[in-house]
Structure 1
Amino acid sequence: MSSLAESAWPVLADWRLLAAIVATAVAGVMRGYSGFGTAVILAPVYSLLWGPRAGVPVMLLMELVVSVQLLPSAMKEADRRVVLPLGGAAALGTPLGAWFLFTVDGEVLRRFIGGFVLVFGLLLMSGWRYHGTRPLSLNIAIGAVAGLLKGSTGMSGPPVILYLLAGLEEAKRHRANLIMFFASIAIVSVIVPLLGGLVGVTTLLRLAVLLPVMALTVPVGTRLFHVVPVRLYRPFAMGVLLAAGGLALFG
């Protein structure tokens, strides 16, 4: 017991864990409000704090729990015709993407994650969206790209978010589609890090601290969705994305 406490203390007393708690609380509110935000905030922040191979598995495990938490209510609103092909292709692409997580230099991967989030945030701010149709072939292609990104960086969201938010559906449908998509690949995304030995005692200790933070803040964001107009929430969300991406890229 004492040896466990001795090994846990350096992890729990690390200042970086406090920074991760703050980032996790912000990401939880964003995820509850918009249906996304967990990975695009936490992947760059956790990678900056602990490195991609240590930070991404924590985020993936948290994403799995959050997806299970939000999925039941979203299933009634989601467009399965679009989301299921996206999720299926992403699930197949995720293990291939994980190969990059194991082989690419951690510093290079961290900066790629930061740059990718920064570009994604700028695209959202510009108002650009995909405005074409959604044939099955394109659904599968977008899903495959998202899966590759999920396995390598922990982030499947950016291409799917830009793709799905292009539609004319109301915000409730957009949110449900995103929640269902993320849930569809959450289980697959944690298998490779588990089998590859990236999930150890340190990962589980960090998860034990951060998961309750996420669990408490997601419902807060869900409640805010019903009372805070998007026009007020959007500038805050975009600012958080740009800050997270910039820190990981230039930090």
Structure 2
Amino acid sequence: MDITTLIFCALVAILSGTTQALTGFGFVMVSMPLLILVFDPKTAVGLSLILSFFSIVALMYTVRVDTNWQLVKRIFGGAIVGLPVGLLVFSQIDVVNLKVYASLVILLMSLFGLKNYSFKFEPEQAEKYVIPTGIISGFLSGSVGMSGPPIALFLSSLDIEKEEFRATTLAFFLLIHPSSFISMFALGSLPLYTAKIALYLIPFVFTGMFIGRRLFDYVSNTLFNKIVLVLLIIVAGYSLVTSLI
């Protein structure tokens, strides 16, 4: 990896780490479309998942008390169902199709979020969407490494504080990300040198996390929800453009 690529990846790691620490999700959504510019899509997916996992481990220590573990367990139960299907897609789909597929997934999820931004589920209504949300997230995690959008959209439709939103999302990622990238390595779908690249970038991820944690203290619940929505839209737009170039 040349110095120009390293600097670019370091900036991506800082931006992604900041986003993750601020909102609880978005690391892969931000990093993967950018890393695809310098790596093949499968390496970009794996690298994003590994770096995101390290940031989650570091963040969970400080936010664990805000986590809704019962909800996490149920969503993860659904994710285990969708993950194998996603991994099958990841191992079979070609490079070009994977890039286009990833971009379309983000775009569709973002448009759904825009349409339903002001909609809130009642507790009874939310119950029936927990498992399907997990299944979709598991599938997307295994196929394109992006389990975040379904979780973010579901949690943003609930009446919860920003602290619980961030902590619950991170806890789910703590479980699903290792399941994804370890399976990718085991299936031979992910190059081993991806782990070596990740080691170079971890310090920059932590730098971004420091910035994001400082910003979190100054963000209200209303502004937090708007940031989540805008993040989904920006990433969707950028991903679509890069997939068409």
TM over 0.5: yes
Q: Which amino acid aligns with 1:217?
A: G
1:61/1:190 contact within 8 Å kept: yes
Q: Which residue of 1 aligns with 2:138?
A: 147
Please list every run of 5 or more consecutive structure 2 residues that lacks an aligned counterpart in the other structure. Answer: none
Distance in 2, matches of 1:173 and 1:93, equals 24
1:116/1:245 contact within 8 Å kept: no
Q: Which residue of 1 aligns with 2:242?
A: 248
Q: How many aligned positions are there?
A: 239
1:159 is aligned to 2:138: no
1:134 is aligned to 2:123: no
Summarize the Cα distance change of 1:78–1:206 in structure 2 as closer, same or farther, 3 Å threshold. same
Q: Which residue of 2 aligns with 1:211?
A: 202
Q: Which residue of 2 aligns with 1:106?
A: 95
Distance in 2, matches of 1:100 and 1:87, equals 20
Q: Which residue of 2 aligns with 1:22?
A: 11
Distance in 2, matches of 1:186 and 1:220, equals 23
**1:8-87 matched pairs, under 5 angstroms:** 11-13=1-3, 15-87=4-76
**1:226-241 matched pairs, under 5 angstroms:** 226-229=217-220, 231=223, 234=227, 237=231, 240-241=234-235
More displaced stretch, 100-109 vs 121-130 = 121-130
Give 1:148 deviation, angstroms: 0.6
Task: Encode CA deviations 1:136-177: one digit per residue, 9 max, x unaligned.
Answer: x53122101110110000000111111111111111111111
More displaced stretch, 161-170 vs 185-194 = 185-194
Q: Which amino acid aligns with 2:46?
A: P
Please report the TM-score for the alignment, with normalisation by the length of structure 1: 0.84
More displaced stretch, 44-53 vs 185-194 = 44-53
In our comparison, the structure showing a higher alpha carbon Rg is 1
More displaced stretch, 177-186 vs 72-81 = 72-81
1:45/1:244 contact within 8 Å kept: no
Summarize the Cα distance change of 1:128–1:115 in structure 2 as closer, same or farther, 3 Å threshold. farther
| Secondary structure, aligned partner of 1:50 | coil
Please report the TM-score for the alignment, with normalisation by the length of structure 2: 0.86
1:33/1:222 contact within 8 Å kept: yes
Summarize the Cα distance change of 1:130–1:226 in structure 2 as closer, same or farther, 3 Å threshold. same
Q: Which amino acid aligns with 1:29?
A: T
Distance in 2, matches of 1:165 and 1:49, equals 33
